[in-house]
Amino acid sequence: MLRATQDIAVAHGLEGFSVDEVARRSGVAKSTIYRHFGTGDELLLAAMGELVDAVPDADTGSLLGDLTLIMTQFVAIATQPSIRRLFTSVLNRSLDNDDFAALQEELVTERKAPMRRALQRGMARGEIDPEIDLELASTIVQGPFVARVLHERGSFRQGEVERIVELMVKAMAP
Amino acid sequence: MLRATQDIAVAHGLEGFSVDEVARRSGVAKSTIYRHFGTGDELLLAAMGELVDAVPDADTGSLLGDLTLIMTQFVAIATQPSIRRLFTSVLNRSLDNDDFAALQEELVTERKAPMRRALQRGMARGEIDPEIDLELASTIVQGPFVARVLHERGSFRQGEVERIVELMVKAMAP
DNA sequence: CGATACCGATACGGTTCCGTAGCAGTATGG
DNA sequence: CCATACTGCTACGGAACCGTATCGGTATCG
């Protein structure tokens, strides 16, 4: 059931999900679904919770290297239509539903964790102005990528990721 | 009808919209709605199209001033829950529907126009590295704000807008 | 006055959901 | 072997949509 739910959500977003559809795809009877998950939303949340995976740390030794690596990975993932589909619909539903809001926050937090550590290391090395709040800094670094991918539904040309990261590093320099 | 549609969309997002609901609110018979707009989506698109208004230009004489003004306005608008609600649901639907994708692109383009002009003036004054692509630059400047508001569903503290703009100006400097 | 055009009210058929209920089959375990 | 627990199948009632159709009323214009 969880698997079928994930498949649907990835392919068609949360809107494509319905208990009937899960029953159809998984071959599991609807009654069984309701026995395990009291309601459709609970199944959906459980399935989505499984998709939140920890992002491995990236430590190349330089701030520029770390951020480039992190954002390259981010772009590789976030430009996939299915991922964009999923994230956008979670974001959309999070405005009405606190449970989905929590899920969305978890996704964002998990995604930002390695960035935060990279920034900490960079600050320790003196590559970042010590006045800068690291929470703000991570928002700033991710900002252009989030805006391009989510907001403008665009992609990136060759070398563009690196160029943007360079500019952000320059912005945060002491 | 358009008015009722806009009210619904602003309050509950595109998901809250239905032809029946518009009929209820507006006092207009459903048959009349279908006579004027062949389908529900056409009504919705027409109503949303009316909400796309030109953003006035901002010319304070300095790049920092212009961008601060523009982004302050952006934040004032985009942090309103109803606007966020609306934009997020348009964004969500734009992944399935080309008409809504066009609408969403129009919204983004319109919103970015004054920023682009401000950047052009800034570059003419030598405040921006001439190597930088202005399209990319506007994405970069807006990025942190878009990320904070849409992606992280957050707001801004006192003086934070100015601080972010300063950093972005620094990033783009020659 | 009368044709034409527009509108409101209402109902309908069809689809897709939701969550529940009843009933029969199978597996497990004391 | 038999009770207990799970499961599948099927059907149901209820709700919300969609888009269409019918029909009586009004208003505008020649």
Task: Give domain limits for chain B.
Answer: 2-49, 54-172
pLDDT of residue A36: 94
Contact indicator for B99, B42 with CB cutoff of 8 Å: no
In this prediction, residues B22-33 reach a mean pLDDT of 95
In this prediction, residues B128-157 reach a mean pLDDT of 94
List the single range of A97-106, A151-160, B4-13, B85-94 with lowest mean pLDDT.
A151-160
Q: Please, what is the Cα angle at A169 between A164 and A174, to 5 degrees?
A: 155
Which residues 83-102 of chain A have a CB within 8 Å of chain B?
Answer: 84-85, 88-89, 91-92, 94-96, 101
Q: How far is CA B102 from CA A120, B31, B55, B108, in A?
A: 41, 28, 18, 10
Contact indicator for A125, A170 with CB cutoff of 8 Å: no
Contact indicator for A67, A125 with CB cutoff of 8 Å: no
Q: How far is CA A45 from CA A35, B61, B156, in A?
A: 16, 51, 29
| Helix axes of B134-146 and B160-172: crossing angle, nearest 10 degrees | 150
Per DSSP, the three-state class of B57 is coil
Per DSSP, the three-state class of B122 is helix
In words, the CATH class of domain B2-49 is: mainly alpha
pLDDT of residue A58: 85
Q: Does B147 touch chain A (CB under 8 A)?
A: yes
Whether the per-residue pLDDT at B56 is higher than 90: the answer is no
In this prediction, residues B28-36 reach a mean pLDDT of 95
Q: Does B108 touch chain A (CB under 8 A)?
A: yes
In words, the CATH class of domain B54-172 is: mainly alpha
Q: Which residues of A touch B140 (CB under 8 A)?
A: 143-144, 164, 167-168
Q: Does B145 touch chain A (CB under 8 A)?
A: yes
Q: How far is CA A101 from CA A89, A90, A92, A93, B100, in A?
A: 11, 8, 9, 8, 24
Report the alpha-carbon distance of residue B107 to residue B100 in Å, rounded.
10
Whether the per-residue pLDDT at A24 is higher than 90: the answer is yes
Whether the per-residue pLDDT at B53 is higher than 90: the answer is no
Nucleotide at minimal C1' distance from the B15 CA:
D17
In this prediction, residues B20-48 reach a mean pLDDT of 95
pLDDT of residue A86: 95
Whether the per-residue pLDDT at B121 is higher than 90: the answer is yes
Q: Exposure of A6 by Cβ count < 10 A (0-12 exposed, 13-18 middle, 19+ buried)?
A: middle
pLDDT of residue A135: 93
Report the alpha-carbon distance of residue A87 to residue A72 in Å, rounded.
18
Report the alpha-carbon distance of residue B112 to residue B105 in Å, rounded.
10
Q: Does A148 touch chain B (CB under 8 A)?
A: yes
pLDDT of residue A55: 85
Confidence category of residue B3, pLDDT binned at 50, 70, 90:
very high
List the single range of A27-36, A38-47, B48-57 with lowest mean pLDDT.
B48-57
pLDDT of residue A60: 95
Q: Kindly tell me the sign of the dihedral angle through the C-alpha atoms of B103, A140, A165, A110.
A: negative
Report the alpha-carbon distance of residue B113 to residue B54 in Å, rounded.
9
Contact indicator for A30, A19 with CB cutoff of 8 Å: yes
Whether the per-residue pLDDT at B94 is higher than 90: the answer is yes
Whether A152 and B139 lie within 8 Å, measured CB to CB: yes
- Top pLDDT among B54 and A110 is at A110
Report CA(A5)–C1'(D7) in Å, whole number.
19
Superfamily of domain A53-172: Tetracycline Repressor, domain 2 (1.10.357.10)
Report CA(A71)–C1'(D5) in Å, whole number.
50
Report the alpha-carbon distance of residue B119 to residue B52 in Å, rounded.
22
pLDDT of residue B166: 97
Report the alpha-carbon distance of residue B24 to residue B42 in Å, rounded.
18
pLDDT of residue A87: 95
Whether B95 and A104 lie within 8 Å, measured CB to CB: no
**What is the per-residue pLDDT across B66-84, written as a single tens digit (0 to 9) for each?**
999 999 999 999 999 999 9
In this prediction, residues B90-106 reach a mean pLDDT of 96
In this prediction, residues A34-58 reach a mean pLDDT of 92
Whether the per-residue pLDDT at B158 is higher than 90: the answer is yes
